[in-house]
């Protein structure tokens, strides 16, 4: 679960229902979750069943520099005999690849839907990886859902089901093109992390005032907790906790950065007593060198654990 998906999860949970982008945010999160699920299943299958001699490196969600921007790679496989980009699609329906105009559409329940062409996406990704690593690169479109069927196949790249993918890659590796796996992997590991969160929030006009503030009840997920008797309490379901505010602080840091104005912290957590606020922030957001400012200690794993329970 990368940071961008976490941003979408926080926005989907906290964005006010009246916001004009609420429906779009929920729709994009649904697509992102489907994509992440497909990529995770693909990587897990390769790590479990791919039968190749020597080291095999399987990387997910890789961003490769390309022209004036970057290209996102769903799954990238590196082996001494083969480097392959996997364009993973977790979709249902009947798929039609137009090999003349390179357009793509699918039919679901008799309804035709135009979509981005996976073949064009893959071609761009293959060019980016080949140019960056300086080696020839293969590409394959992987269908992870058994409810997907190719009616018209693409022209440039093969489409394979997830179940068949290990066998397809094993056939590619028989060509004996020798690559330095450690060297190529090192080049990729040195790439700077990409952050698309700010541009995504700006595109959807999401700011702090667009969000429901307060400490979210992890059970109800739609209401804020109340601090009473040294615990957070939910009036609706009876949930209580001493440290539920830790997730709220991490959500703020993810969306808006680690620096937290003390005056804003009152609104963020929904408390009024300064001694309560200082006690809550003492360990997770200690005072900085600037008067009236706190600095949140980042803990992404806490958010991943929280949302993995929400989106099981």
Tens-place pLDDT, residues 108-127: 998 998 988 999 999 999 99
Tens-place pLDDT, residues 162-171: 999 999 999 9
Tens-place pLDDT, residues 52-61: 888 899 999 9
Alpha carbons 242 and 279: distance in angstroms, whole number: 11
Alpha carbons 160 and 141: distance in angstroms, whole number: 6
pLDDT at 174 over 80: no
Alpha carbons 256 and 237: distance in angstroms, whole number: 30
pLDDT at 194: 77
pLDDT at 88: 95
Under the banding of pLDDT at 50, 70 and 90, the label for residue 175 is low
Alpha carbons 226 and 163: distance in angstroms, whole number: 49
Under the banding of pLDDT at 50, 70 and 90, the label for residue 245 is very high
Higher pLDDT, 99 or 3: 3
pLDDT at 204: 94
pLDDT at 170: 92
pLDDT at 1: 75
Once rounded to an integer, what is the mean pLDDT over residues 230-252?
A: 94
Give the residue range(s) of CATH 3.40.1350.10 domains in the chain.
Answer: 3-197
Once rounded to an integer, what is the mean pLDDT over residues 233-244?
A: 92
Alpha carbons 251 and 257: distance in angstroms, whole number: 9
Find out if CATH 3.40.1350.10 is the number for domain 3-197.
yes
Tens-place pLDDT, residues 281-290: 999 999 988 8
């Amino acid at each position: 679960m990368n940071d961008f998906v976490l941003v979408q999860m926080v926005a989907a949970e906290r964005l006010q229902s009246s916001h004009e982008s609420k429906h779009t945010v929920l729709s994009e999160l649904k697509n992102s979750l489907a994509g992440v699920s497909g990529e995770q299943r693909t990587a897990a299958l390769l790590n479990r069943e791919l039968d190749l001699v020597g080291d095999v490196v399987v990387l997910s969600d890789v961003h490769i520099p390309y022209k004036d921007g970057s290209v996102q790679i769903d799954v990238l496989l590196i082996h001494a005999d083969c480097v392959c980009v996997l364009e993973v699609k977790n979709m249902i329906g009947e798929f039609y690849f137009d090999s003349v105009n390179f357009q793509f559409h699918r039919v679901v329940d008799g309804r035709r839907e135009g979509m981005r062409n996976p073949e064009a996406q893959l071609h761009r990704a293959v060019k980016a990886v080949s140019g960056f690593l300086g080696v020839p690169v293969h590409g394959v479109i992987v269908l992870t859902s058994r409810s997907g069927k190719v009616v018209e196949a693409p022209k440039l790249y093969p489409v394979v089901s997830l179940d068949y993918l290990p066998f397809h890659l094993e056939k590619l590796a028989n060509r004996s093109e020798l690559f330095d796996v450690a060297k190529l992997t090192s080049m990729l590991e040195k790439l700077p992390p990409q952050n698309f969160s700010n541009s995504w929030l700006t595109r959807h006009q999401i700011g702090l005032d667009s969000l429901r503030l307060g400490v979210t009840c992890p059970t109800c997920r739609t209401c804020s907790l109340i601090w009473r008797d040294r615990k957070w309490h939910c009036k609706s379901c009876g949930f209580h906790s001493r440290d539920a505010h830790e997730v709220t602080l991490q959500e703020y840091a993810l969306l808006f950065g680690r620096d937290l104005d003390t005056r804003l912290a009152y609104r963020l957590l929904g408390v009024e007593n300064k001694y309560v606020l200082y006690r809550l922030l003492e360990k997770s957001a200690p005072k900085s060198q600037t008067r009236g400012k706190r600095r949140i200690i980042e803990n992404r794993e806490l958010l991943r654990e929280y949302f993995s329970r929400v989106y099981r």
